Structure 1
Amino acid sequence: MHPILSMAFWMGCLRIFSGCLEITAGFFMLHFRSVETALKINSVLALVGPLIMITVTSLGLVGISSQVSLEKMLIILSGVLLIFWGINKI
């Protein structure tokens, strides 16, 4: 398998895994029917979500690193950092 296709495969797998976690968490919230438990489940998702985003973005950047100039790579990384900075300012 071509390395870039392999990266895209793993990026997709991580996103599917993330989606399955979200759906499972939603079912747990419905099952327990407790606001306190739902908040606990939501807080775990709040930790996992950014980690998956960073991992998927990193895989994507590694996959295109040979095709993109260093300047453009730094612009992409700056954009990712600005997303997290903006989220923390909300």
Structure 2
Amino acid sequence: MKDWIQSMDKMVLSMGLLRVFGGSAELLAAFTILYLNDIKKAVAVNSILATIGPIILISTMTIGVVGVASQLEPMRFVLVLCGVFLILLAVFK
């Protein structure tokens, strides 16, 4: 297992670990909401969780774009950045 992790691309490992963290936060929030059994507290927990999701998204996108940047032609890189911008625009609007 240790050799498998060491052989992985560090950026891919970082993106995967961020997603594992995000998924764990989602599960923890779900169990917390069920445990609290109160609509006002559930909305508060959900609002906290709503800030974590976009942070994870932006972080993984940044790592991915930085990792791919050196392998792309300049025009393709501009297109990737435009795509990331449109995704973020859709998420925050």
TM-score of the superposed pair, with normalisation by structure 1 = 0.87
User: What is the match of residue 49 of structure 1?
Assistant: 53
Count matched residues: 88
RCO higher in structure (CA 8 A, sep ≥6): 1
Equivalent residue in structure 2 for 1:34, among 28, 38, 49: 38
Cα separation, 1, equivalents of 2:14 and 2:92: 28
Letter of the 1:12 counterpart: G
Equivalent residue in structure 1 for 2:88, among 46, 64, 84: 84
Cα separation, 2, equivalents of 1:52 and 1:58: 10
**Structure 1 runs, 4 residues or longer, greater than 3 Å off:** none
Which residues of structure 1 form unaligned runs of 5+?
Answer: none
Cα separation, 2, equivalents of 1:63 and 1:20: 25
Letter of the 2:80 counterpart: I
What is the deviation of 1:81? 1.6
